[in-house]
Structure 1
């Protein structure tokens, strides 16, 4: 469908479309009230356009291993199943059974489109569930996140699994349905067990202050003894042998561009930590659902900090980063904190997106 777009221009087209929408949204937040009829029409039309466009744009991409990472490997596995290949042992059975089932009925392009739906629709669903008619602001924050594109076209299994976790969060009052989505997410990618367990912790202890202190403590612990934590988690067999191998394997092309302690990505992770600290501790924002989201993020991000020096640590960073957008925007869509809060939402969105934009055009250029 989008074969007319050169592969090298595929991501730049997406990120510059996001730039246009972020700027246009910022202008709207500056001149219009959040509940102004013109604003509501704009955010609903823009949001629905984004939802449909991203699903099709990601899903109908070309099969390429240079610009779309592991897409080509998923395609090879899919074609193998289409020709009668059997599911191997010690794999994420939910994902591979899903691939094998789909391979019997639809071509690879349709499979990737369905996966793009599984990845993107839950972001829309949770935004609507939590924020009603103001859902667009959370949704676009998800879509302009630094990790969004990568886990839509490269680590798509991890991305889909984490989105299923978010989908499950939409059913806080229907625990059985929530549990089914959580289990489906874990069956897609075992690492999702970490946010699931972290979320369950919030039903035992729901005071974020303790977890803020734990997050801070993990920084010197990682700096002083990062290798100890890496070996510890690897020896525990977190997830499975393959995932433990992510922690101990040698660096190779396609991993984080630099290894060692990643201060740049710690800075990125701190966006959500600062937002949580500001609203919960400084501004005394009280919301049980938000506390659960925040604590889940802090636990998962703390785990990543402990193994931050490992190659492939991006596999574990995403287990918290996929929640960053909602951690940052949630309080401002629930309670009045600033005199011109609509404009503040626009400015926060612009600053948050600027990290994604500048990392691509300056850091990775």
Structure 2
């Protein structure tokens, strides 16, 4: 569908369009009151256009092992399934879903359906918790660092985290929430990390504990290094599923350099600083928000412990996908500042600018 877009700039088109939309939101928030009906109507229309175009653009991207590394691997497996070669040993829901699709459709429609399932939960979450302001939350989801990558490359991880987001839409309907948690885990078993964070923050509801866990993870990671990788991924039985993430040289799809990534720790701190400010400075004691903060803090602390591993970005995303609501939720639920919506425009812009600058830095 978008074959006219050269592959070398295919991702760049996405990031640049999002940058233009970011500027529109920023300028609009400076000049107009985004609470006015005209403003809301404008961004609702823009939001629906963005969702449709994003699904089509992401879902019908050309197959490329060079520019969307894992995509070529998925297509290879898909074609084998179409020829009757089926060997499913893990991530059962995803693999049986792929097998079912392979029996009835071309692989390009499989990738399209995957991205429908990846993007729509973010819209549902935004609509449920942000109501008339859903566009801004959705933009922050879509503008999050690695959101594009997990819709085009690490699609199993991306689908699993989107099902986790969908599960949180049923926060008051526990059986439905846990059903979606289970589906997410069956799509990619790494979802056990945010699920463990959810359970831990359900049992210990003190946000100070979450903050201490996150802060403690930094010196522990610096001091322990590979000890934490050995503990979590060998002694605790994760080695088979994650050995490719933890060993070897950096490859496409992993962080561009190894070692302790202070730049990504800075990015992670956005969610921690936001949670600290809203909970401890502004005294927002919203049960759901504190739980979100707990999930994010604990899951991100896990990543910090294994930050030096190859492919540790795949563990980072198991918390980063929650950062958008951690930052945005209180600003559309509570009165915090005098010029609140101007401030939000600035915060949204800073949030996306990190993503955009990292794209420019990496050149892809």
TM-score range (shorter-chain normalised) is over 0.9
Equivalent residue, structure 1, for 2:219: 220
> After the TM superposition, which residues 55-204 of structure 1 pair with which residues of structure 2 at under 5 Å, given as runs?
55-89=55-89, 91-204=90-203
Does the aligned pair in 2 maintain the 1:127–1:139 contact within 8 Å? yes
Q: Deviations over 1:9-48 (max 9, x none)?
A: 1111111110111111112111222321111111101111
- Stretch deviating more after TM superposition (31-40 or 7-16): 31-40
Are 1:262 and 1:308, in contact at CA under 8 Å, matched by a contact in 2? yes
* 3-state SS of paired residue (1:337): coil
Higher alpha-carbon deviation: 226-235 or 238-247 = 238-247
CA distance in 2, matches of 1:226, 1:100: 40
Q: Deviations over 1:153-176 (max 9, x none)?
A: 110110011000100100012111
Alpha-carbon distance between aligned partners in 2 of 1:122 and 1:329, rounded to the nearest angstrom: 17
Tell me the alpha carbon deviations over residues 161-216 of structure 1, each in whole angstroms, 9 at most, x when there is no partner: 10001001000121111111110100010010111121122221211111101111
Q: How does 1:258-297 map to 2 (within 5 A)?
A: 258-297=257-296
Secondary structure of the structure 2 residue equivalent to 1:330: helix
- Of residues 243, 248, 251, the one that matches 1:250 is 248
Partners of 1:308 and 1:293 lie apart in 2 by: 22
CA contact (8 A) 1:59 1:112 kept: yes
Deviations along 1:226-257, whole A, 9 cap, x unmatched? 1111111112345451214422x111422221
Determine if the alignment matches structure 1 residue 34 to structure 2 residue 37. no
Contact 1:118 1:163 in 2 (8 A): yes
1:304 equivalenced with 2:308 (yes/no):
no
2-side partners of 1:30 and 1:269: how far apart?
A: 27
The SS at the match of 2:34 is coil
Indicate conservation of the 8 Å contact 1:87/1:97, yes or no: no
Aligned 8 A contact 2:232 2:238 in 1: no
Q: Report the RMSD for the aligned CA atoms in angstroms.
A: 1.2
Question: Are positions 1:210 and 2:209 aligned together?
Answer: yes
Alignment-derived partner of residue 234 in structure 2: 235
Residues 284-336 of structure 1 show CA distances to partners (whole Å, capped at 9, x for unaligned) of 11100001111000010000000101111111111001111111111101101
C-alpha distance in 1 between matches for 2:237 and 2:125: 28
Does 1:23 pair with 2:23?
yes
C-alpha distance in structure 1 between counterparts of 2:361 and 2:180, whole Å = 38
CA contact (8 A) 1:246 1:313 kept: yes
Is the Cα contact below 8 Å between 2:144 and 2:324 reproduced in 1?
Answer: yes
In structure 1, the residue matched to 2:49 is 49
**CA distance in 2 between partners of 1:258 and 1:203 (Å):** 35
Runs of 4+ aligned residues of structure 1 deviating over 6 Å after TM superposition are none
Displacement after TM superposition at 1:92 (Å): 0.8
Q: Is the 8 A contact 1:78 1:100 kept in 2?
A: yes
Output the CA distance in 1 between the equivalents of 2:238 and 2:113: 26
Deviation for aligned residue 1:362: 3.1
Using structure 2 for the length normalisation, give the TM-score: 0.97
Q: Tell me the residue number matched to 1:343.
A: 342
Structure 2 unaligned segments of length 5 or more: list them. Answer: none
Separation in 1 of the partners of 2:237 and 2:121?
A: 26
Q: Does structure 1 retain, via aligned residues, the 8 Å contact 2:170–2:177?
A: yes
Q: Give the whole-Å Cα distance in 1 for the aligned partners of 2:251 and 2:217.
A: 28
**1:101-151 deviation line (CA, Å, top 9, x unaligned):** 011111111110110011100110100111111111110001111111111
